[in-house]
Chain A
Amino acid sequence: MPKDGGIGASPKRREDIRFLTGTGNYTDDMNLRGQVYVHFLRSDMAHARINGIDTATAEAMPGVLKIYTGKDFETAGSIPCGWQVTDRFGEVMKEPRHPVLAEGKVRHVGDPICAIVAESREQARDAAEAIELDLEELPAVVDMRKALEDGSTKVHDDLSDNLCFDWGFVEENKEAVDAAIKSAAHVTTIELINNRLVPNAMEPRVAIGDYNRASGDSTLYTTSQNPHVIRLLMGAFVLNIPEHKLRVVAPDVGGGFGSKIYHYAEEAFCTYAARDLNRPVKWTCTRSEAFLSDAQARDHVTKIELALDKDNNFTAVRTSTLANMGAYLSTFAPSIPTWLHGTLMAGNYKTPLVYVNVRAVFTNTIPVDAYRGAGRPEATYQLERVIDKAARELGVDPFVLRRQNFVTEFPYQTPVAVEYDSGDFNKLVDKLERKADFKGFAARRSASEAKGMLRGLGVNCFIEACGIAPSNLVGQLGARAGLYESATVRVNATGGIVVMTGSHSHGQGHETVFPQVVADMIGIDPSMIEIVHGDTANTPMGMGTYGSRSIAVGGSAMVRATEKIIAKARKIASHLLEASESDIELKDGAFTVAGTDKSVAWGEVTLAAYVPHNYPLESLEPGLEETAFYDPNNFTYPSGAYACEVELDPETGRVTIEKFTTADDFGIVVNPMIVDGQVHGGLTQGIGQALLENCLYDENGQLVSASYMDYAMPRAADVPFFTVDHTDGTPCTHNPLGVKGCGEAGAIGAPPTVVNAVIDAIQSGGYNVDHVDMPVTPHRVWEAMHG
């Protein structure tokens, strides 16, 4: 196999051509014959009773087809939640109804009340302004602590209170952890906020519903990371459409970062209304609307305690977290602060005892769900902050303290259920110290100080869990879905291959990377392989792309299907070569009889499969197409060590990132160029969380940061060039490629690295400051130093 196109190579991305020439096919680029437009009239109050909706004037306006309200969806199902958490006491979580359009009450700013369908977008919008709403404003519950007070206003009147669940993990460890903390030589405590974020994929969401009256089939075109999941959730739970009568297409999708995993009300509406009106119905979200309707992220308030013995060995970790669910449960919301967070609280360390308590709270805010990292950034941030604080309190080097407590032998069973299969944390730190030039830091600090600036160096080590699995385990933990992935490999008569994958690419470059794997296995040129994804009509049932699972789970399914192809092709070759199957070797795209010069080319074998004249028909079916479903037997565990240097202006509190260096262990890397890009993007989102981004509500539940004028997205000048390294990883031991996944590492590893660097800078100036909450804005830094 020519190495320039196989595993480990960095071929240029084939999808770039259409994106660079304006010929991509995003959902909003699609227009169907006879299409009409929907505009959603949304609540401008965080909490209100709907006493009346008068649509008479609006219905008579030009171009208006129909105006829908909650009454039209009373018999429809609730927008479903895909994960049921069981609390400390064995009770299942509270799960309120989430209607397509508001019923009786609105519960967050942006909650949709009416849907106006008109011939043009402008007519729909004009008509919305003529609807008279009689909303009776109710007190809004925004702060999680207040939401849990006795007598608090309830977000859902039919629930006993605003507590969704009170989760303890590992509950059986609780007393032992309490005892270990009580008897510890030293306990470091930190209280911190993991700030609420808005994922902000650059493409706003779009949905087009279509209905074929002749066949009775519905089609939804939507901006989704997982079209099969949407088909199942919407068809089975909301609209009662069997899957064979429902097709979901997610064409080119302009970024997701988690926010396009979930099934949203607008998708159900467009699908329903297209059938009701017998016209395609299109919705294009504006950015302002996205701030009010896309699931948001993080929003944890945490207290963490780290206990150490007299020799600085970690003996226990205890955490207590409030996790904001928002007003309704988004698709995977309950899994984020629980199983994707608590299971990572051992981090890279041998801490024998861990107890995690999470209380999830309903508030009158937009629902919260997964965003790049999903639970793992929250776990890493608190753990790596408390370790950093402990090192400062004890006067030891932060890496020395970490190294002393590292897990060094694998597999390693943590006290929080997961078993790490592989890693080498000391090697990562060695590499980082070299790449980040720690030796030169003192000189760089002096140079900054000579300019009147402070300079800080922050470090962080992390491990995360990707490729969530296996299905039977996650089922026990409350998942209402399987977490396998699928691939169909269709070999054509003339040797070209189409791989239909259940994974979905929305920036990750699957169309380039997946062919590298198949090409490597068969020994043909990657240009002979095409990837099809994003359409339930022509891909096998798959769970889609999130949680850094595409190559680890989707790639493994593709490997298994390709192995079946090779096994069958070998039988055909043995027939053509009149040799025993065990003597047939596949190399560089040709089947050879071992030890001879007899061979048949790939194309000859594939042609024989479809023109089976000289073919063992009595023992082998014609054709060459195989499907595999791969269900992993463990998570994968990427790990990393990161370093950041910041410069801080003591006059203004302004922090700039001067240097950011990473050492990641992603196992085997298929395409280093694309992995670099994934790390760069993740780092910038993590730096955004640390320095800039904050999704802020006022006490009435109004979203203050509701546009790009107010929500500070990282811009080009906010970040430096990064130095990233992911060479020489420890292969995953349980999947066929040895891959671990790389999509979320940067967003998980960056926030504590940056904040640790800021604290280092502040303390280097002699200020007694041991924590500043994210985003570490100039105002907050200055106030901490001088306030």
Chain B
Amino acid sequence: MTQVTMTVNGKAAKGEVEGRTLLVQFLRETLELTGTHVGCDTSQCGACVVHVNGEAVKSCTMLAVEAQDAQIDTIEGQAALDGTLNTLQQAFQDHHGLQCGYCTPGMVMSAAALLKENPKPTEADVRHYLDGNICRCTGYHNIVKAILAASGQDVSAIAAE
């Protein structure tokens, strides 16, 4: 077992892990931050996306020991302390960008990384960027719409019905 220490959502965190322990296991099982989900085992679905030192990373694809001393941000750290949703989270609710909620944490974290890189993405930019995030419920329509809205763009012309 190896001791790892990192900063998770601004707080110091540490724990004992095996060499094979994945970052997502460490988050879910050791730190009990169960908002980050596991939807596959081939790094395809993106339900486990977190930010490592500000970059979107699939936490099923990184060992916990590799995150030694890293700054980790997860879905649990996105809303304000009083519970107020951030702009992206609020856009997902406003535009019904989630149904079962399972892919949602990864979607929100990926979208946050996109908007950091590209604050005014086109529809095609958003769809392309989400290539590594699979949603089975929404058909992506309202996810893409929510992300465009969160970037400050007018989505009223996008047909809802």
A interface list, Cβ under 8 A from B: 12-13, 15-24, 26, 28-29, 31, 122, 200-204, 252-255, 257, 286-288, 506-509, 672-674, 676-677, 680-685, 707-709, 713-717, 719, 721-727, 746
19 contacts between A and B (CB under 8 A): A17-B93, A20-B93, A21-B89, A22-B35, A29-B34, A122-B20, A203-B37, A254-B101, A255-B99, A677-B139, A677-B142, A680-B138, A683-B139, A684-B139, A709-B44, A716-B131, A716-B133, A717-B131, A721-B159
Complex contact A21–B138 (CB within 8 A)? no
Complex contact A726–B36 (CB within 8 A)? no
A541 to B52, CA, bound (A): 46
A453 to B30, CA, bound (A): 54
- Write the nearest CB–CB distance from A206 to chain B, whole angstroms: 10
Contacts of B94 in A (CB 8 A): 12
Chain B interface, number of residues (Cβ within 8 angstroms)? 62
Contacts of B128 in A (CB 8 A): 716-717
Residue among A21, A23, A673, A726 having the largest count of chain B Cβ atoms under 10 Å: A21
Within 8 A of A (CB), among B1-38: 18, 20, 28-29, 33-38
Q: B150 near A: Cβ within 8 Å?
A: no
A23 to B41, CA, bound (A): 23
Complex contact B76–A21 (CB within 8 A)? yes
A518 to B158, CA, bound (A): 32
A20 to B78, CA, bound (A): 9
Provided the pairs A24-B101, A673-B96 are in contact, do residues A709 and B85 lie with their beta carbons within 8 angstroms? no
- The contact string, 1 if C-beta is below 8 Å from chain A, for chain B 90-109, is 00111010111111110010
Contacts of B130 in A (CB 8 A): 715-717
- Write the nearest CB–CB distance from A550 to chain B, whole angstroms: 13
Provided the pairs A20-B85, A287-B39 are in contact, do residues A677 and B99 lie with their beta carbons within 8 angstroms? yes
* B100 partner, pick from A28, A255, A685, beta carbons under 8 A: A255
* A507 partner, pick from B38, B99, B108, beta carbons under 8 A: B99
* Least CB separation from B135: chain A residue: A202
Contacts of A506 in B (CB 8 A): 100
Provided the pairs A202-B103, A709-B42, A715-B134 are in contact, do residues A672 and B161 lie with their beta carbons within 8 angstroms? yes
Provided the pairs A203-B102, A287-B42 are in contact, do residues A716 and B126 lie with their beta carbons within 8 angstroms? yes
* Least CB separation from B108: chain A residue: A20
- Write the nearest CB–CB distance from A29 to chain B, whole angstroms: 4
Contacts of B127 in A (CB 8 A): 715-717
Question: Told that A12-B94, A727-B161 touch, could you supply 14 new A-B pairs with CB distance under 8 A?
Answer: A20-B92, A26-B34, A31-B29, A122-B18, A201-B100, A202-B47, A202-B103, A254-B37, A672-B161, A680-B142, A681-B139, A713-B134, A716-B127, A721-B123
* A19 partner, pick from B20, B44, B101, B159, beta carbons under 8 A: B101
* Least CB separation from A683: chain B residue: B139
Q: B40 near A: Cβ within 8 Å?
A: yes
Contacts of A200 in B (CB 8 A): 136
A506 to B36, CA, bound (A): 18
Contacts of A709 in B (CB 8 A): 42, 44
* B104 partner, pick from A19, A286, A677, A724, beta carbons under 8 A: A19
* B75 partner, pick from A21, A29, A204, A715, beta carbons under 8 A: A21
Q: B79 near A: Cβ within 8 Å?
A: yes
Complex contact B134–A725 (CB within 8 A)? no
Residue among B123, B128, B141, B143 having the largest count of chain A Cβ atoms under 10 Å: B141
Complex contact B98–A16 (CB within 8 A)? yes
- The contact string, 1 if C-beta is below 8 Å from chain A, for chain B 148-161, is 00000000001111
* Least CB separation from B34: chain A residue: A29
* Least CB separation from B18: chain A residue: A122
Q: B62 near A: Cβ within 8 Å?
A: no
A286 to B140, CA, bound (A): 24
* Least CB separation from A709: chain B residue: B42
Complex contact B35–A13 (CB within 8 A)? no
A722 to B20, CA, bound (A): 43
Provided the pairs A204-B39, A715-B134 are in contact, do residues A254 and B139 lie with their beta carbons within 8 angstroms? no
Contacts of B92 in A (CB 8 A): 16, 20
Complex contact A203–B39 (CB within 8 A)? yes
* A708 partner, pick from B35, B93, B98, B134, beta carbons under 8 A: B134
* Least CB separation from A120: chain B residue: B18
A507 to B138, CA, bound (A): 9
- Write the nearest CB–CB distance from B52 to chain A, whole angstroms: 17
Provided the pairs A202-B39, A252-B101, A681-B139 are in contact, do residues A287 and B108 lie with their beta carbons within 8 angstroms? no
Complex contact B35–A287 (CB within 8 A)? no
Complex contact A287–B40 (CB within 8 A)? yes
Residue among A255, A707, A727, A746 having the largest count of chain B Cβ atoms under 10 Å: A255
Contacts of B140 in A (CB 8 A): 680, 684, 714-716, 719
